[in-house]
Amino acid sequence: MHRSLVLDNSSCLLSSIALCASVGLLSDGAIAGPPAQTQLPTTLHDYFEPGTQESTLIEPMLTSNSCSFCHQFTRDGNDNEIVAPYDNWRMSMMAQAARDPVWLASLAIANQDADFGGDTCIRCHAPAAWLSGRSVPTDASAFVTEDWEGVTCHFCHRIVDPVADKSNPPEDEPILAALAADGLLPAAPGNSRFVVDPIDVRRGPLDDVPMNLHGVPIIVSPFHYEGNLCGTCHDVSNALYTRNVDGTYALNSFDAEHPTLDPHEMMPEQRTFSEWKNSTFANGGVFFPDGRFGGDDTGLMESCQDCHMPKHSGGACFAWDSPPFFIRPDVAEHSFVGANTWAIGAVYEYYGKSESGLTQEAVEINRARTQIMLRNASDMQILQLGPQLKTRVINVGGHKLPTGYPEGRRMWLNVRFFDTGANLIAENGAYDFGSATLHTDDTKVYESTFGIDSAVAAATGIPEGPTFHLVLNNIIVKDNRIPPMGFTNAAFQAIRAAPVAASYADNQHWDDTLFAIPKGAVEAVVTLYYQTTSREYIEFLRDANTTNSAGQTAYDLWVSQGMSAPVDMDIMYVKLAAPRLGDINHDSIVNITDLLAVISGWGQCPPPNICASDVNGDNLTNIADLLTVISNWGA
């Protein structure tokens, strides 16, 4: 029998007319237990999105297990690793998106906050369930076994480019025409506005596959090479709100679709796709000589797939060594590695191999890949400027660093100072691994923080200000995450992803922080940490849940899996000299050598580098730095 995180009281369908007290809700719409809260009386109409609709497929979605017969294999006769698409998909968070304990706990809160609030969540995390008409109740209680496969093979390989293009296959035309006739276009990008082929086909980017053993049509789809496909789910906007002219977001009338259906006029929840779309990656590409994002083809990084599905030499089918199949150089690794460091282990712990398809080895492979991805996503530089230590974090990824929904995701700088006896004498950004507590008051924390305004507070009974209530949030309190290469303020303002309570110049994809060097410090170790799920967020999921045990289960798994232990993205060591401004070579004397260093470094530091000749740290080497050297002349 399927073991589900969902529900003690899942048979009760909540509606805006009659609420079920058996799941902790009172008949007047107030959620039981402190604090008193009123559920928004939304309906499915409020969450309408264009594109393919529920229960409209001519042929149903098949279980991904059917793909394993041909696409699950391990090694060739020479014990060389062969890329197996099914195995890599199975160990990914895409395959486990519906089993993710944090998602299920968040789903419960979403439904508590707004009736049917989980509808949009299910569209992305279990699209086959949504398309098959099993998304109501919106708490996942109507799911059948195959729905727990998350983002399935058949969903992605039946998806159609929602924008007509001459390069797309002719089979797209009648599908799009039918949707247009029903007023269900345009459908892209974001908010899981997918268009799905109504019949069972295999769509993919390879144009030289001669046959399909199942007799199912193969359709060559350039869309599957494009980052636009990923934008289907990795841009999310809250359709309950409409943007006012002053930039604020107000609740719409209930029981009606969004008045404009324009995602840029809805409350922005995450903008990962749009961030990439407005980066150098999507507009010319970025070449990494070190091949840091993996694969055998380590050339120009342009699409989401280039980084998250690196290409390898291998086989796409079990019969790769039998004609007409062959080892090919462009098999995409279906691992979809991102920045979730612990949930895959939690899924395996809770569901076991029989339901999740995972093994301990698969969990470890996923964790290792995730750590590599995180460490490849940033670079760091440090430089002593007299009595201060300048630390620069450089974003080399295709979107903000970090990106995604702010479910406790954060990145911060930890700086430890040591004396001549190697004793720790001061620390900034200390993290207690035993209690999962971060000290934030003396360091830089990169994160986005959402909240609710006074109007939403009055409507719900939740205090105004920062909250983790995804469905209710209508203000961005803070967003100091580092933009990607190619960032401009105008472009990011247009996609509703501009920095908040922070500022970045156009084309700036790095951030600087100054730390005071304590007396007696002779060396420092600087670490950039990333954490997927903070203690504060997981405790919110546990404590705010009045519906079921999903929040407690997520919390317990978080604890057993190491409390989302931070991952070190960059670590650097530096020897410290006597704190004297102008001492560029740190030999404890300011003299002609330092003066010549300023002159030789004259002008702007080539971004994104820190220049030692920039004595005052303003990214320019000019007369101000020359005067600083002269005024500090001597030993």
d(CA 16, CA 406): 28
Q: Specify which residues 394 forms β-bridges with.
A: 379, 510
Q: What is the pLDDT of residue 31?
A: 46
Tokens in use for 495? 């996609």
Q: How many helices (H) and strands (E) does the chain have?
A: 18, 29
Q: What is the pLDDT of residue 63?
A: 92
Residues 6+ apart with CB under 8 A from 633: 582, 590, 591
Residue with the two structure tokens 């450089």: 394
Query: Please, which pLDDT band fits residue 388 given cuts at 50, 70 and 90?
Result: very high
Highest mean pLDDT among 80-89, 320-329, 580-589: 580-589
Rounded mean pLDDT, 16-29: 33
Three-state DSSP class for residue 109: helix
Q: What is the pLDDT of residue 324?
A: 52
3-state secondary structure 294-343: CCCCCCEECCHHHHHCCEEEECCCCCCCCCCCCCEEEEECCCCCCCCCCH
Between residues 289 and 517, which one has the greater pLDDT? 517
Q: What is the pLDDT of residue 3?
A: 40
pLDDT at 323 over 60: no
pLDDT tens-digit profile of 414-468?
999 999 999 999 999 999 999 999 999 999 999 999 999 999 999 999 999 999 9
pLDDT tens-digit profile of 324-368?
556 778 889 999 999 999 999 999 999 999 999 999 999 999 999
d(CA 20, CA 617): 61
CA separation, residue 2 to residues 140, 143, 346, 414, 549 (Å): 13, 10, 17, 43, 17
Tokens in use for 409? 């995701």
pLDDT at 21 over 60: no
pLDDT at 32 over 50: no
Q: What is the pLDDT of residue 18?
A: 29
Q: What is the pLDDT of residue 325?
A: 55
Q: What does pTM read for this prediction?
A: 0.92
DSSP state string for 473-512: --EEEEE-PBPPTT--HHHHHHTT---BS----TT--EEE
Read off the DSSP letter of residue 45. G
pLDDT tens-digit profile of 523-556?
999 999 999 999 999 999 999 999 999 999 999 9
Average pLDDT, whole number, for the chain?
90
In degrees and rounded to multiples of 5, residue 564 shows phi and psi of: 50, 55
Q: What is the pLDDT of residue 294?
A: 83
Between residues 187 and 269, which one has the greater pLDDT? 269
pLDDT at 480 over 90: yes
pLDDT at 212 over 80: no
User: 140 and 5 in contact (C-beta within 8 Å)?
Assistant: no
Query: Please, which pLDDT band fits residue 26 given cuts at 50, 70 and 90?
Result: very low
pLDDT at 585 over 90: no
pLDDT at 35 over 90: no
Of 364, 53, 323, nearest to 185 by C-alpha is 53
pLDDT at 617 over 50: yes
Read off the DSSP letter of residue 240. T
Helices (H), ranges, 522-590: 535-543, 550-560
pLDDT tens-digit profile of 117-137?
999 999 999 999 999 999 999
pLDDT at 30 over 90: no
Three-state DSSP class for residue 350: helix
User: 64 and 129 in contact (C-beta within 8 Å)?
Assistant: no
Between residues 295 and 226, which one has the greater pLDDT? 226
Between residues 110 and 607, which one has the greater pLDDT? 110
Looking at residue 427, its amino acid is E
pLDDT at 7 over 90: no
Domain ranges of the chain: 373-575, 592-631
pLDDT at 485 over 90: yes
Residue with the two structure tokens 């360091």: 443
Q: What is the pLDDT of residue 588?
A: 83
263: cis peptide before it, omega within 30°?
no
